[in-house]
Amino acid sequence: MTTPTGVFLRCLVVTGVLIGTVSGAAEETVAIRAGVLLDGKGEPRRNQLIVVRGTRIEAVGDAATVKVPSGATVVDLSRATVLPGLVDSHTHIFLQGEDPKEGGYDAQLLMHGLAYRAARATVSARRALEQGFTTIRDLETEGAGYGDVGIKQAIERGHIPGPRMFVVTRGISTSGGYPLEGYAPEVVVPKGVQIVDGPVEARKAARQQLENGADWIKVYMTHRSWVGKDGKLGSQPTLTLEEIKAITDETHGWGRKVACHAYGGEGLRRALDGGCDSIEHGLDLDDAAIAQMVRQGTWYCPTLAVYYDGWAPADTPHGQTDRKRAEVHGPSFQKALEAGVKIVFGTDIGGLSWSEPIAQEFPRMVELGMSSRDAIRAATVSAAEMLGMTGQIGVIAPGAYADVVAVAGDPLADISVLKRVGFVMKDGKVFRNDLR
Ligand SMILES: [Zn+2]
Distance 90 CA to ligand 1 centre (A): 6
Between 114-130 and 147-156, two packed helices, what is the crossing angle to 10 degrees?
Answer: 50
Confidence tier at 310 by pLDDT (50, 70, 90): confident
Distance 77 CA to ligand 1 centre (A): 35
Distance 86 CA to ligand 1 centre (A): 18
Distance 144 CA to ligand 1 centre (A): 14
pLDDT tens readout for residues 270-283: 999 999 999 999 99
Distance 419 CA to ligand 1 centre (A): 21
Q: How far apart are CA 422 and CA 329, in angstroms?
A: 32
Distance 142 CA to ligand 1 centre (A): 9
Residue 253 has pLDDT above 80, yes or no: yes
Report the chain's C-alpha Rg in angstroms. Answer: 22
Helices (H), 85-229: 104-110, 114-130, 147-156, 199-211
Q: What are phi and psi of 428, to 5 degrees?
A: 85, 0
Residue 126 has pLDDT above 80, yes or no: yes
Distance 266 CA to ligand 1 centre (A): 20
The letter for the amino acid at 192 is G
Distance 207 CA to ligand 1 centre (A): 22
CB-based contact 411:376 (threshold 8 Å): yes
Q: Residue 401 has what DSSP assignment?
A: B
pLDDT tens readout for residues 81-103: 999 999 999 999 999 987 777 77
pLDDT at 132: 98
pLDDT at 48: 97
Distance 213 CA to ligand 1 centre (A): 19
Positive or negative: CA dihedral 277, 219, 359, 265: negative
Q: Cβ of 289: how many Cβ atoms within 10 Å?
A: 25
Average pLDDT over residues 1-25: 38
Distance 291 CA to ligand 1 centre (A): 24
CB-based contact 420:60 (threshold 8 Å): no
Positive or negative: CA dihedral 92, 212, 145, 201: negative
Distance 281 CA to ligand 1 centre (A): 8
Positive or negative: CA dihedral 275, 281, 284, 285: positive
Beta partners for 217? 258
Q: How far apart are CA 232 and CA 284, in angstroms?
A: 9
